[in-house]
Amino acid sequence: MSSGVQTDQECVSKFNELKLGRKYTAIFYKMNDTNTQIVVEKTLPAGTPFSEILTGFPPKECRYVVVDYGYNEEGANKNRICFVVWCPDTAPIKGKMLYTSSKDSLRKALVGIQVEIQGTDASEVQESEFLAKCTKI
């Protein structure tokens, strides 16, 4: 089910800068004030430590986050582009429903996502979870 929420074009252009130019480590997306459009909230520059990404997840609000996750597997450095749907248990139900029903519009616009992670509490977005999901591919 789609919510009718649109994706701002800047969302796609920032994603392409992450994907093609490795300009960012993470991009945080949120709904605008009228809940009619998904917009870029902030970006974290390339090389930002994972611990700093975690501080960007608000404890009582939903977000979408794209992370260019780098890891080492069998002696080789690899990167995966991860899409996180952050809907914490403490967020208002209306917000969780809106973010869940609007996810596909953003997800389809961001071509090249390799891993999807759904987080409802901090334990589900720890680095160990990213590593586990990325090495399953």
pTM over 0.75: yes
The DSSP line for 80-119 is EEEEEEE--TTS-HHHHHHHHHHHHHHHHHSTT--EEEEE
Residue 103 confidence class, pLDDT cut points 50, 70, 90:
very high
Domain boundaries, given as residue ranges, for the chain: 6-36+64-110+117-135
Torsion of CA 56, 57, 58, 63, to 10 degrees: 110
pLDDT digits (tens, 9 = 90+) for 43-58: 999 999 999 999 999 9
The CATH class for the domain spanning 6-36+64-110+117-135 reads alpha beta
Q: What is the pLDDT of residue 41?
A: 98
The three-point CA angle 20-3-104 to 5° equals 30
